[in-house]
A and B are shown apart, each in its own frame.
Chain A
Amino acid sequence: MKTGPFILALLLGLLWTAPAWAVNPDEMLADPVLEKRAREISKGLRCLVCQNQSIDDSDADLAKDLRIIVRNRLKAGDSDGAVVDYVVARYGDFVLLKPPFKGTTLVLWLGPAVIGGLGLWAMIAFLRRHSGQGGGQGGGAQAAIAKAASRPRPPPLTDDEKKKLRKLLKEDGP
């Protein structure tokens, strides 16, 4: 049986499906401009029951209540900022999916940049050191020879050691 057309039909079928919204039609505001603002605000507010969903996505009871509160505040004439502040006053900065930039979140915001900077600095220092050792063409070999020459000569082998060496060489021979 050919499965190709079947799978194709299945995939095409997906085009017809509508995304499932958590926001119920009865929650929506009649004014499309206000509703759009409400949606934008809701996307930035965390549902505290499910934690990694915004209240715009969540089906939780509390998320629904907060969506309605957001819309009520907007209808009462609040600015977007005032609506967010209203929710933050009750649930803290944790409800913001994007944490604010302030004293307690400095590490959060600047940490990655600082660590990245340290890494970059370490990498540059490492590369500089290595290219400096190499020098020009053949510099590496010359430096190695000079280094070997400056090393103090080892003491000559004793008779005992010479004998051992000869024995070892013989053993290794064919």
Chain B
Amino acid sequence: MSKRAIYLVPLSVFLVMAVYFAIGLTKDPKIIPSALIDKPVPEFSLPPIDNGAPQGYGKGFSSADFKAGEISVVNVFASWCLPCRAEHPFITKLSKMNVAKVYGLNFKDTPKNALKWLQELGDPYDAIGADPRGRVGIDWGVYGIPETFVVDGTGKIYFKYVGPLNGDILENQILPVIEKLKR
């Protein structure tokens, strides 16, 4: 190594670190890459919310529902989850667009509170499944709700968003994914 080149070593080390940190520090460590992307939806079957009536409320859904060729969105929500309340209008908006089936996974909720929540804010879901003990949620790799999954027509999980949806995320992340899957 020539004498002059040695002076470039600190500079190049600095540049490598600068690039590394510029990328690394802008990533949110709370967002964990899902292990389930590109995998089929887990095997499960969720009952409707128990409202006292024999057929319950919200139909319930299971893994079989995702293999019918339709694009689906699975939104994990609960009445105790404050950000879920914030994203509710956007789930409603998505549901009204009729671009995908919208499923609600009612995570670790009581039937009474869930029903009250849906009555108050409206029920945007095509079907709701109750997961009072959160076991199916864990099979889906849920760790912090709200979480929203996009599933393709063959039942493969294609996209996951952790955190409350808003207009920007709906327009720029969820809808483009649905568009892409439609083609």
Complex interface: chain A residues within 8 A of B139 (CB) = 90
Give min CB distance, A96 to chain B, whole Å: 11
Q: Per DSSP, are chain A's interface residues mostly helix, strand or loop, or mixed?
A: helix
Which of the residues A49, A61, A90 comes within 8 Å of B36, measured between beta carbons?
Answer: A90
**A74 close to B (CB within 8 Å):** no
Question: Would you call A66 and B138 a contact (CB within 8 A)?
Answer: yes
| Chain A positions 72 through 91: 1 when the CB is less than 8 Å from some CB of chain B, otherwise 0 | 00000000000000001111
Please determine whether B138 and A94 come into contact, CB atoms closer than 8 angstroms. no
- Cα A93 to Cα B36 in complex, Å, equals 12
- Which residues of B sit under 8 angstroms from A65, Cβ to Cβ? 133-135, 138
Q: Is B113 interfacial (CB-CB < 8 Å)? A: no
Q: Does B5 contact A (CB under 8 A)?
A: no
Complex: how many Å from CA A90 to CA B34? 8
A48, B35: Cβ atoms closer than 8 Å: no
Partner of A49 from B35, B108, B144 at Cβ < 8 Å: B144
Q: Which of A62, A89, A90 has the most CB of B within 10 A?
A: A90
Using known A-B contacts A48-B143, A49-B143, A49-B144, determine if residue A92 contacts B138 with beta carbons closer than 8 Å. Answer: no
Interface string of B13-38 (1 = CB under 8 A from A): 00000000000000001101111100
Least CB separation from B133: chain A residue: A65
Q: Given contacts A66-B138, A90-B139, are A48 and B144 in contact (CB under 8 A)?
A: yes
CB atoms of A92 and B33 under 8 A apart:
yes
Interface size class of A (residues with CB under 8 A): 10 to 19
CB distance from B145 to the nearest CB of A (A): 10
Sorting the interface of chain B by its residue count into under 10, 10 to 19, 20 to 34 or 35 or more gives 10 to 19
Asked whether any CB of chain A lies closer than 8 Å to the CB of B141, the reply is yes
Bound: A48/B108 CA distance, A: 17
- A91:B32 contact, CB within 8 angstroms: yes
Which residue of A61, A66, A91 contacts B35 across the interface (Cβ within 8 Å)? A91
A61 to B134, CA, bound (A): 10
A69 to B136, CA, bound (A): 12
Q: Does A105 contact B (CB under 8 A)?
A: no
Are the C-beta atoms of A92 and B143 separated by less than 8 Å?
no
A171 to B141, CA, bound (A): 85
| Inter-chain contacts of B42 with A (CB < 8 A) | 90
- Flag if B32 contacts A94 (CB, 8 Å): yes
- List 22 A–B pairs whose Cβ atoms lie within 8 Å, in order of A's numbering: A48-B143, A48-B144, A49-B143, A51-B29, A61-B108, A61-B134, A62-B134, A62-B138, A62-B143, A65-B133, A65-B134, A65-B135, A65-B138, A90-B139, A91-B35, A91-B141, A91-B143, A92-B34, A92-B141, A93-B35, A94-B32, A94-B33
Using a CB–CB cutoff of 8 Å, the interface residues on chain B facing chain A are: 29-30, 32-36, 42, 108, 133-135, 138-141, 143-144
Q: 10 tightest CB-CB pairs across the interface, nearest first? A: A92-B35, A48-B143, A90-B141, A94-B32, A91-B141, A62-B143, A91-B35, A65-B134, A90-B138, A92-B33
